Structures are given as structure tokens and as C-alpha cells.
Structure 1
Amino acid sequence: MKIISYTLMFSVLILLITSRVEGNNNEVEEEESCKETYGFLPCTSTALGNSFLIVVYGYMMFSGATYLSNGCELLLEILGPGVIGGSLLPVIASLPEGIIILATGLNGSIATAQEHLSIGVGLLAGSAVMTLTLIWGTCVLIGKCDLDCYRARDETDTKGFNLVDSGVATDIWTSYAARIMTLSIIPLFIVQLQKHLHSSSGRNLAVLIALIMSILMLISYCLYQIFQPWVQARRLDYVKHKRVMTGFLKHLKQHALGRLCNHDGSPNMDVLAKVYEAIDQDGDGALSEGELKAFVIGMHLEGMSVGTDDIVHKVLQEFDTERRDGKIDFDEFKNGISKLLSGFVKRDRAPHESTDNIKYIDAVDEEAEKEHFLLGDFWEEGEKIENTKLTTIKAILLLVAGAIITAAIAHPLIDVVENFSDATTIPSFFISFLVLPLIINSGGAFQVIYFASKKKRRSASLAFCELYAEVTKNNLVSLSTFLALVYVRGLTWDFSSEVLIIFLVCFIMGNLASFRTIFPLWTAILAYALYPFSLVIVYVLNNFLGWQ
């Protein structure tokens, strides 16, 4: 990596010297063709020279983005998903795109800013579209495993490129992340309404409403990031408790000589008394922890690692509701069984005789197992930081270095893209759409694809969650910056077609991922097809339907 950095710096130095020599030989002509950024950075009017500069400045911007990302990760390991980790760090991680968009709108006069703004919207659209199409599809292709019902077999890939029976599976929290991403396009929908407004005040009002909505949704997203770990832990704990209760009832039914409840739903006292006496080994009229442990020791919960002590604790928590003495008397036992069975009746509106059937209890237990599986009980605690002070200093230095690099390189990168557009007559939007997201987000893309390549549901869930979070932050942070520039500087909004493709791609992929956890290979083909489709949409709307 250092060799590459030195090579690029040396190349910039050579180009700088060359530019100076050419400027001395033909100073008047060079002044008319390009302008040096900051008065000393090299510039050129040729397509090849600007291509080289895009690579150089792009690599510097990539380095700055990498520093910011690494700094955020270190701070997140130290602080955890609290107020700072959940609210501030996601915003900091989106700084590169935001700084570039900010530089496009603050660069020079209003006319110049209006001209450069297409670069910012190209980056905004390109980042979202590339993430949800090319990177998303690659994760499915690289991480594919054999699919079986509602799950994928980890590290098992024997079905090749079967479009239906091969793919990836994620947990339910990944679907929730996709739903949040879909909601983040609401400001895009609002700002699109200004196209149908004919007065300038009406268009400004639409931009302002979209800006306010975007900021409010960003705040809401940060709050969600703060409380989401707590919500996830509570939901998982509830499902674990539910699985233990259904498993306990199933285990109890297997040891009962008869029905647990009568046809009218009342407890079958004779059967319950016999089961209770069988568990109550010392005959003192109360089930102790030791007696419960002896009874549940053969109880097995598929796909759930829970000890006997945990099962006993949850059973006591459910049944010992009157005296709270750590024991279960017969009345508590009877009421607890009746409560569990009546819960099935209320939930499924099933007759009492059905809920007492072992097949029905098996079905309920299987449903609880599926719910537990989809929640993904596989999150591991990260490694503890040994030297917290030193790591904090390193994280802050990385953040500062990343912020300085991205802020310094944003302006010259925009100028180079504009110069390349002039030299090739390619609209600057398409250049920023195709090139800038590839350069800036390549580090994160490789990391996400690497996670998916492990061919495990846990890794796939992490990868796709990161993709949806990235698009959500892009839609809210970058769009808020973009709308603020348009409103404050009084710029003209003529990017309806560009914003439309963000809306369409996020809507299609968001709805696809919001209500399913299995993604066969055919979904990757759909994602790949959306990338060229989005470019065609912009070209047709701008050049044939007069949207711009």
C-alpha cells in the first residue's frame, strides 16, 4: 500500500512539473483551457491527463474515506452502540460523499455552483444505485449456498448456479434494515413533487419540506441505532422464553398419560396431578429447582444452545407467579399449563382439543424455532480493547486525517471531473455516477463482499445490513446536504430524472429485501439488470422527454 502511495505521489509531482513547463511555454493558451486548483495543483485540458488526475485524486479521496471508516470502527469498539456510537459515528462515516456534495454547491458563483451540482447529484445517485445493484448482486453470487425451505446451509454449495435452489439467507433484522432504507426515500418523493409546481415559491417550499423531512428522518435513524441493540436483545430474549415454554409443554405432554385439558378448555386435574406427582420426587407438594432440573434434563431444543439451569429459570419465571418462593405448587402448575394452552387458542383460534394434540404442539414448537432462527441468535461479542487510551488517540487521529484529506481533495476532484467532461463531451453526471462511487466506496465494497464470501448466514446478514445502512445514510446525510445547498443558495432544481432512479432502485430492492430472508440467484440477476436500466432511464428522460 505504501508503494502505491509513493508511486502516485511521484506521478503527481511529475505531472506538476510537466504542467509548469508547459505553462511557461504557452501560458496564455493554458490559462484559457484550465485553471489550477488552489493556485498550485496541476491541471490539463486533455482527456488522458484528466483521467490520470481522477485516479490520483480519487485514490487520495479513497484514503481519506478509509481513515474515516477505520477511525469510526475503532471508536465504536470502545464506545459501543450508545449515543455517540449510534448517532455521531454513522454521520461521520458519510463525510466523504457529503463533503464532495458540499464542495459542488459552495464552489464559486451561483452559476458555477449550478454547473457543478450535477457532479454531486451523480455521486448521490451513483452510490445508492451501485450499492443496491452491483455490490448487492455480487454478495448474492459470491455468498451463495444451498437453499432449504427458509434457511441456507452454511458453507454448503453443491447446487452450482441453480437460480432457485442456490442463494443466500439473512436474519429478520436485515429485513428491518431494508425497510428503514425504503422509508429513507420519502424525502426523494417529496422533492420530486416540485417538478409539477410552476411557481418558484412552490418549488422552494417543496425543497424545504424535503430538507426538514430528511433531517428529521436522520435524527430518527440515529435514535434507532442507539436503541436497536436493546430492542434486539429484548426480542431475542422473548423468543427464547417462548421456545423454552413450548419445548417444556411438549416435554410434559410426552410424559402425561392422557389429555392436559378437557374439551371445554378447563385443566384435566387427574392428568395434571399425576404428572405433578411424578415430578415432585420428595412429595412435599412443591416443585423445587432440583426436581425441575431432573425433569427437563432430557429436554432438547433444536438449534438453540441453552443450559438446563436456564430452562429451569425460565420455567420458574413463567409458573412461580403467586408466592415467588422459587418453588411451584400445584395451583401455580395448573394455572401455568392452562395459561400456555389458552395462549395457543387465542393466537390461532384453534379448538381446545387441537391445542392438546402432540402434533399441534410440535407445529407450534417448529414455528417458534423458525422465529428464533430468523432472529439470528449468533451475535458474538467483540474483542476487548486492551489499551483504550492509545486506541482512542489513534481513532481520533484517523478521523482528523480523513476529514482533512477529504476536505482538501474534494474541490480539485470536482474540477478534474468537470475538465474531463469538457474534454470528452460526456455529461459530468455520468462521470460522477460511474467513477466516483467506485473510487470512494471500493474499500467498503470489498469488505462487504469478503463477509458474504464466508458463506454463512451470520456473515451474509452482516454484509447486507451494512449495504442497507450505507444507502440509508447516503439518502439522508448526502440528500440533506444537497437540499440545504439548493435552498440556501437559491439554486435551480433540475435533477428530477437523476433522483427518480434513486427512488426506483431503492423502492424495488427495498421491497424485495423487506419481506423475505431468502435470496436465490435470480435476485442477483435482477439487481445487476437495474444498474444499466437506471442509466438508460436518465438518458431517455433528459434527452427525449425533456426532463432536464
Structure 2
Amino acid sequence: MGETLGKLFVPLSSLPGLYEYPAECKEPVFNPEDHLKPTFGGIVQLLFLACVYGCILFYASNLISDGSELLLLIPSIAPIVGSVVLPILGAVPDGAIVLFSGLGPNAQDQLTVGVGALAGSTIMLLTIPWALSIWAGRVNINSKGQCTYRKPASAPDKWRKLSKNRTRHDMLNRTGVEPNYEAMSSGALTMILTAIPYLIIQGAAFEFEGDSEEKIASEEKYYALVGLIFCTIAFFSYLYIQVRNSRTNQVLEDVVDSKRMDALKHGLLSLQGIFYNSLNGEVLANGGDPSAQNLLGFEHKKNSL
């Protein structure tokens, strides 16, 4: 399977001079009359492939973003889009890289690249996007030191969450985000607990370091199995916690309301679809029969299409 999927990509070994440099590339000589610098093997081709793959990933990420916004319009799954659906979609490529890298003939060498890509993407997610999300999500801080996420009753019509034309001093001292203590503490605990499988297999690697490859493989396979079981349990536990917490997420409700308003303006959703939850709750509260509830759900699906 690994070899079959590998045919979808250009093999780097086919790029001229990327691994074995010709003699003229090892000692390049610049000729002023050519007005061109010498090419260094397959570096140019490699950069071109990186740009092509980057464009594909950029287009795919936009599709995921558009699809996730449309999923927010479905009341039954809107609470779990950001906490369950998107994390799974983000983890699938990393897991596929590690899985397929271990299916080829040189599994040990390829796994080094796969795990390196996984670690690099994780570190990148914990640094650049996190910082950018704080910068993009910042709002004004009032005199009481509170973030103004909601419009005050006495605010003028031109009120904005983030004022424009601020000085650099005000941007650094009078804008910010308001962290949620429960979300941050539970997130930190989740990160610590889900890192235990790495310690399990890494501890075994330290223990049997220096032995033959056959002995290392025979000894570490049990630790790898324990790590796999722990990862599976941690994964489903994470999904359960996220689904449970999504029912009382006020920030998520505000995001969903905003997406519904945009969908209403562009004709993607009807008024009946927006008030589906309220109407459904009213039917049940008034003791309506199940057929009325089913009819309401059918009309909502029909008008949402």
C-alpha cells in the first residue's frame, strides 16, 4: 500500500543531482557572461515541488474551512464541529504520514522522517497559529480590565470590538483576549495525559539502546502495543470530553449565530432553519406528538438544502 500511494508523488531520487551531485555542481564556477548563477543539483526542482504541494494544501484547507462553516448550520452537529470534526481532520494527514512511511521496505529510515514531520507540525501548531489566533481575536479592554466581547448598552452605533487607528502602546496594553480558566486547565491536563504514550515507547527505546535490531524489535513491540492501547483510550476519552463540554459553550453559540446570519444573508439558510432549535423545543415543551417533531425536522432539512 505504501508503494502504491507513493506513486502519487514525484520520487525525490529522480531529481537530477539532489543526492549525488555531479562534479561541476560540487565546485560551481560563475561565468559573468552567462548572467546566470549555476544550478545546484535538484534544489530548484525540489523547491518547485514544495510550492506545488503547498498550493494543493492551501486549496484543501480552504475547502475544509468552507465545509466546517456549513456544518455549523446543522444544529445537531454544530457543537462538535470545532472540538471533534476539525481536530480529526487535522490529525488524519499526520497519522497517514507516519502510517504510510512504515509500510515500505526501509521502514526504519522512513519512520524517522514521518515522526519528524509529526513533531514539527505539532510544534508549529503550538506556536505560530496560537499566537496568530490571539492577535486576530483580540478586543478592546475597558477601564475595569475586562475584554469587551459584547456591545455595551450605552455604546454608540459605531462601536467596534477592536477600535481602529490605535497607537502601538494601546495595541499592546489596551487590547487582549480573555482566557477561560476551565478550558485552559482542562486543555493543559489533556496535553499532559496524551503525552504519556510517547514516554512509554521512548522509555523502552532508552532501555534497549545499543542492542541488536532483532532484540530491540522483539522487546519494544510490547511497549508499542501498550502505547497503541493507551492512545486509543485517550482518543475516545478526548472525544467524549469535547462532546460533553460543547453543550455549554457560550462562545461556540455566538460563532454559530454569526455563521447563521451570514448564511441567511446569502440565501443558504431559511428563517425556519435558524429557529429550528427554538421551535423544536417549543413543540416538546407543549407536549406535541412525535409526528409534529419529525415533520418539523423534515421541513428544516428540506429548507436547508
TM-score between the two structures when normalised by the length of structure 2:
0.54
Q: Distance in 2 between matches of 1:152 and 1:105?
A: 48
SS at match of 1:224: helix
> Which residue matches 1:38?
7
Deviation at 1:214, TM superposition (A): 1.3
Matching of residue 60 in structure 1 with residue 24 in structure 2: no
Deviation at 1:103, TM superposition (A): 2.5
> Which residue matches 1:123?
117
Structure 2 stretches lacking a partner, 5+ long: 1-5, 17-41, 149-160, 209-214, 271-299
> Which residue matches 1:48?
44
Letter paired with 1:196 = F
1:74 and 1:391 in contact (8 A); partners too: no
2:194 and 2:234 in contact (8 A); partners too: yes
Deviation at 1:164, TM superposition (A): 6.4
Letter paired with 1:219 = F
Calculate the aligned-residue CA RMSD, in Å: 3.9
SS at match of 1:379: helix
Letter paired with 1:126 = G
> Which residue matches 1:151?
146
> Which residue matches 2:196?
186
Letter paired with 2:239 = C
Structure 1 stretches lacking a partner, 5+ long: 1-36, 234-374, 393-548
Structure 1 residues 77, 215: closer, same or farther in 2, change over 3 A?
Answer: farther
Structure 2 matches for 1:335-346, cutoff 5 A? none
Provide, for residues 292-332 of structure 1, a one-character-per-residue CA deviation record: whole Å limited to 9, x for no partner.
xxxxxxxxxxxxxxxxxxxxxxxxxxxxxxxxxxxxxxxxx
Q: Distance in 2 between matches of 1:40 and 1:87?
A: 30
Q: Distance in 2 between matches of 1:77 and 1:164?
A: 36
Deviation at 1:41, TM superposition (A): 5.3
> Which residue matches 2:243?
226
Letter paired with 2:207 = L
Deviation at 1:87, TM superposition (A): 5.0
> Which residue matches 1:71?
67
Q: Distance in 1 between matches of 2:9 and 2:124?
A: 34
Letter paired with 2:7 = Y
Match of 1:169 among 151, 159, 178: 178
Deviation at 1:85, TM superposition (A): 8.6
Q: Distance in 2 between matches of 1:39 and 1:158?
A: 51
Q: Distance in 2 between matches of 1:138 and 1:210?
A: 33
> Which residue matches 1:208?
225
Structure 1 residues 48, 114: closer, same or farther in 2, change over 3 A?
Answer: same
Q: Distance in 2 between matches of 1:115 and 1:377?
A: 43
Provide, for residues 109-132 of structure 1, a one-character-per-residue CA deviation record: whole Å limited to 9, x for no partner.
1x2x32222332222112221122
Matching of residue 105 in structure 1 with residue 122 in structure 2: no
The share of aligned pairs that are identical, in percent, is: 27
Structure 2 matches for 1:157-306, cutoff 5 A? 160=169, 167-172=176-181, 174-176=183-185, 178-179=187-188, 180-198=190-208, 200=216, 201-230=218-247, 232=248
Structure 1 residues 196, 219: closer, same or farther in 2, change over 3 A?
Answer: same
Q: Distance in 2 between matches of 1:59 and 1:83?
A: 28
Q: Distance in 2 between matches of 1:41 and 1:135?
A: 29
Structure with greater contact order relative to length (CA < 8 Å, sep ≥ 6): 1
Letter paired with 2:200 = I
Structure 1 residues 89, 125: closer, same or farther in 2, change over 3 A?
Answer: closer
Q: Distance in 2 between matches of 1:191 and 1:147?
A: 49
2:83 and 2:246 in contact (8 A); partners too: no
Deviation at 1:83, TM superposition (A): 8.0
Q: Distance in 2 between matches of 1:378 and 1:83?
A: 11
> Which residue matches 1:379?
254
Structure 1 residues 119, 68: closer, same or farther in 2, change over 3 A?
Answer: farther
Q: Distance in 2 between matches of 1:145 and 1:104?
A: 47
Q: Distance in 2 between matches of 1:70 and 1:58?
A: 18
Structure 1 residues 389, 190: closer, same or farther in 2, change over 3 A?
Answer: farther
Match of 2:93 among 71, 91, 96: 96
1:144 and 1:168 in contact (8 A); partners too: yes
Structure 2 matches for 1:374-413, cutoff 5 A? 379=254, 381-382=256-257, 383=260, 385-386=269-270, 388=301
> Which residue matches 1:403?
none
Structure 1 residues 158, 376: closer, same or farther in 2, change over 3 A?
Answer: farther
Q: Distance in 2 between matches of 1:82 and 1:140?
A: 22
Q: Distance in 2 between matches of 1:49 and 1:186?
A: 40
Provide, for residues 361-420 of structure 1, a one-character-per-residue CA deviation record: whole Å limited to 9, x for no partner.
xxxxxxxxxxxxxx869735431744846977xxxxxxxxxxxxxxxxxxxxxxxxxxxx
TM-score between the two structures when normalised by the length of structure 1:
0.33
> Which residue matches 2:128?
134
1:81 and 1:225 in contact (8 A); partners too: no
Letter paired with 1:96 = P
SS at match of 2:73: helix
Q: Which protein is richer in helix relative to its size?
A: 1
Deviation at 1:218, TM superposition (A): 0.8
1:147 and 1:167 in contact (8 A); partners too: no
Structure 1 residues 38, 376: closer, same or farther in 2, change over 3 A?
Answer: closer
Q: Distance in 2 between matches of 1:150 and 1:76?
A: 32
> Which residue matches 2:285?
none
Q: Distance in 2 between matches of 1:135 and 1:182?
A: 20
